[in-house]
Structure 1
């Protein structure tokens, strides 16, 4: 074989050899195996695998957050319900004075608001003074449970001792005003006197214009008198 033939064979062999960059690209059917090992499996191959269960700490945190959210919702509902409930409030100077021990014509607290008028009787009783426009709830002769400002009716009860004859949560006064916490006391005449409060006014109502023996007061005070007095309780009317 001549030199030309060997050189040509050498060039053909060099042309048949694959370039270095094609070594990993052979298909499985070319009869040869790559000497480079296949790449390791990536995480995308495990997409079908079951997800890891959450740790116990994460589940506990989720339950805690759900509980807090539920309690917050209950608190909002309670606050809303509370905001819509009706309330009776004392109105400035119409607020009553509270419990103290007093004897007729004097007061241990040093104020005249709780001082019982002279000749106001003894024992547990309701004392009413039209001239002072006040009522005292007296427990055990000298203990004033509550002293209240009132608005006398257009018909004034004469001085004397009376007894509570009836109690009514609500009624219509002789002046056609809807009233609540009614405590009536007999007079032996055609007029029945009583303590009550205007259903539509929480504080002291204006002076009545119709003919009535009702003695009006703030709703809080009327409720206190209603709870204090029973049928048969003494009512003492003084000057």
Structure 2
């Protein structure tokens, strides 16, 4: 009877194979064509601090040059999310910001760093009971999924219940559609403070 290999050898082999496959697919995806975001003038949308009441009235960004991509956001094709300004940029491979807009953050924020889009979901019901679409997941913080999305009806999110942990980063419907078209699986998401 042939000797049986220990299970850790099988697990190690499968893990190495999976990592190699993901690496190969990433290289292939980077070489392929990528959609570009439509160039539009930035629109001021409502923004709110965690725990603050949501508002449908637009608030202009405090940033003097909201169209300027933050310097510490890396290079290449990416989505940039500025935690302090509640703003997202869709940046093409040539480092040109094609679209920027403000968002309504959830009560749980991602840690600054570089992530990749891991899951895309067409529609679901958010943790706040709102029907949402264009859901793009990129991080998990303390068991809370962090994702971009927009309400199906385009409304701003309702105020979070006291103590609620929500990771949804909501945006107006048109911005959600643009981000959905731009953010393929594996697209980089750079979060800056």
- Provide the TM-score with structure 2 as the length reference: 0.62
CA contact (8 A) 2:82 2:192 kept: yes
Residue 17 of structure 1 corresponds to none
SS in 2 for 1:114: coil
Give the CA deviation at 1:178.
Answer: 1.5
Give the CA deviation at 1:118.
Answer: 2.4
1: distance between equivalents of 2:98 and 2:109? 24
Residue 235 of structure 1 corresponds to 189
SS in 1 for 2:117: strand
Aligned counterpart for 2:82 among listed residues 113, 120, 129:
129
Q: Relative contact order (alpha carbons < 8 A, sep ≥ 6): 1 or 2 greater?
A: 2
2: distance between equivalents of 1:207 and 1:164? 26
SS in 2 for 1:94: coil
Do residues 149 (structure 1) and 96 (structure 2) align? no
SS in 1 for 2:72: coil
- Residues 147/207 of structure 1: CA separation in 2 closer, same or farther (3 Å cut): farther
Aligned counterpart for 1:224 among listed residues 163, 173, 178:
178
Aligned structure 1 segments of 4 or more residues deviating by more than 3 angstroms: 203-210
Residue 164 of structure 1 corresponds to 117
2: distance between equivalents of 1:174 and 1:203? 15
The CA RMSD measured in Å over matched residues stands at 2.1
- Residues 118/167 of structure 1: CA separation in 2 closer, same or farther (3 Å cut): same
Aligned counterpart for 1:94 among listed residues 33, 36, 45:
45
Residue 190 of structure 1 corresponds to 143
**Of Structure 1 and Structure 2, which has the larger fraction of its residues in helix?**
1
- Residues 208/198 of structure 1: CA separation in 2 closer, same or farther (3 Å cut): farther
Give the CA deviation at 1:131.
Answer: 0.8
2: distance between equivalents of 1:189 and 1:123? 29
Stretches of structure 2 lacking an aligned partner (at least 5 in a row): 1-42, 47-63
Deviations 1:175-197 (A, max 9, x none): 22221111111337522110001
Task: Give aligned pairs, total.
Answer: 132
Which has more radius of gyration? 1
Q: How does 1:1-239 map to 2 (within 5 A)?
A: 93-94=44-45, 112-187=65-140, 189-200=142-153, 202=154, 204-209=156-161, 210-239=164-193
